Amino acid sequence: QDPDPGGHFQFRVIVLGDAAVGKSSLLRCFAEGPGGGPGGAATPGPTVGVEFYSRTVPVPPAGRAKLQLWDTAGQERFRSITRSFYRSAAGVLLVFDLTNRASFERVPEWHREAAGGGDPPAFVLVGHKCDLEAERAVSAEEAGHLAASLGMAFVETSARTNLNVDLAFQMLAGGIQEAL
């Protein structure tokens, strides 16, 4: 994970979790979100089975990191492709749907799969669709406990209201830098 010519570190980040929890929406919201954020517009690039974006984020106290974002959309079908990405990912956003209890219960399995073998990447656990408060099936407290037990930070996000989306990626970038 060497600095780019601008002196920014570049990290490969993947977004994992059950189908339909909102991985693609979260990625798109971050990569193409209003304001563009530091580093400007997102850059879609060509890949097979995954989509690629990048965006530069601030990392406290004074750094910046360019995140290369890999969408594992269709990972249920492209499992072997995704597996090869586990090994090169510096960070993982592990996403579940706050209104879908089964997606929460699968978190330890996703964690095991992505953490296994070699240097484990940095993780952030993301409870997504927090705009659907009336349909919530997992409490923040419960999710926080699970995250802590697996050594992850936890944040709740919504792509619909754009709540904490940038924060989730910035937390991950911070976690990656700390682990360097």
Q: Which residues bind ligand GDP (CB under 6 A)?
A: 19-25, 73, 128-129, 131-132, 158-160
Q: Are 70 and 14 in contact (CB under 8 A)?
A: yes
Q: Among residues 136 and 160, whose Cβ is nearest to ligand GDP? A: 160
Burial of 91 (0-12, 13-18, 19+ CB in 10 A): buried
Helix (H) or strand (E) holding 46: none
Report, in Å, the least distance between residue 180 CB and ligand GDP.
29
Q: Among residues 102 and 179, whose Cβ is nearest to ligand GDP? A: 102
Report, in Å, the least distance between residue 106 CB and ligand GDP.
12
Q: Among residues 91 and 127, whose Cβ is nearest to ligand GDP? A: 127
For 78, the 3-state DSSP assignment is coil
Q: Among residues 10 and 24, whose Cβ is nearest to ligand GDP? A: 24
Instruction: Answer left, alpha or beta for residue 87, where phi above 0 means left and psi between -120 and 50 means alpha.
Output: alpha
Report, in Å, the least distance between residue 136 CB and ligand GDP.
11
